[in-house]
Amino acid sequence: ETGVTQTPRHLVMGMTNKKSLKCEQHLGHNAMYWYKQSAKKPLELMFVYNFKEQTENNSVPSRFSPECPNSSHLFLHLHTLQPEDSALYLCASSQMGEKLFFGSGTQLSVL
């Protein structure tokens, strides 16, 4: 596989569920990101990992928990989400911050 692979593509979960989003990049990049995209709103940066160290956490609620075991893999653990958390969640990678490559995204619905 090439590029940035993100799973699952779609996820429906209840507010009491625990689920995880997975992202893998095959580009040899040093940085990985989680973004949230809601309808008609700008992309919201959630987390940044640079060489698997977290460098940004933009006041994201603790019900979102990132994990970056190595430079190629990134997870977003979800628990006790709220309906307003329903959105498209995008993983991206880059080499030294230039040119983001995005995964296909996870469309999340919280019931």
Partner 1 sequence: QKEVEQNSGPLSVPEGAIASLNCTYSDRGSQSFFWYRQYSGKSPELIMSIYSNGDKEDGRFTAQLNKASQYVSLLIRDSQPSDSATYLCAVNIAADSNYQLIWGAGTKLIIKP
**96 is an interface residue for partner 1 by CB under 8 A:** yes
Our measurement of the distance from residue 91's CA atom to the centroid of its chain's CA atoms, rounded to an integer in Å, reads 4
HEC string of 5-49? EEECCEEEECCCCEEEEEEEECCCCCEEEEEEECCCCCCEEEEEE
Determine which residue in the list 11, 31, 68, 108 makes contact with partner 1, applying CB under 8 A: 31
**10 is an interface residue for partner 1 by CB under 8 A:** no
- H or E segment at 68? strand 64-70
CA dihedral 52→54→55→59, nearest 10 degrees, is 150
**8 is an interface residue for partner 1 by CB under 8 A:** no
- Which stretch in 18-26, 36-44, 59-67, 71-79 sits in contact with partner 1 by CB under 8 A? 36-44
- Which stretch in 14-22, 41-49, 62-70, 72-80 sits in contact with partner 1 by CB under 8 A? 41-49
Determine which residue in the list 22, 56, 63, 80 makes contact with partner 1, applying CB under 8 A: 56
Binding site for partner 1 (CB under 8 A): 31, 33, 40-43, 45, 48, 50, 55-56, 90, 94, 96-100, 102-105
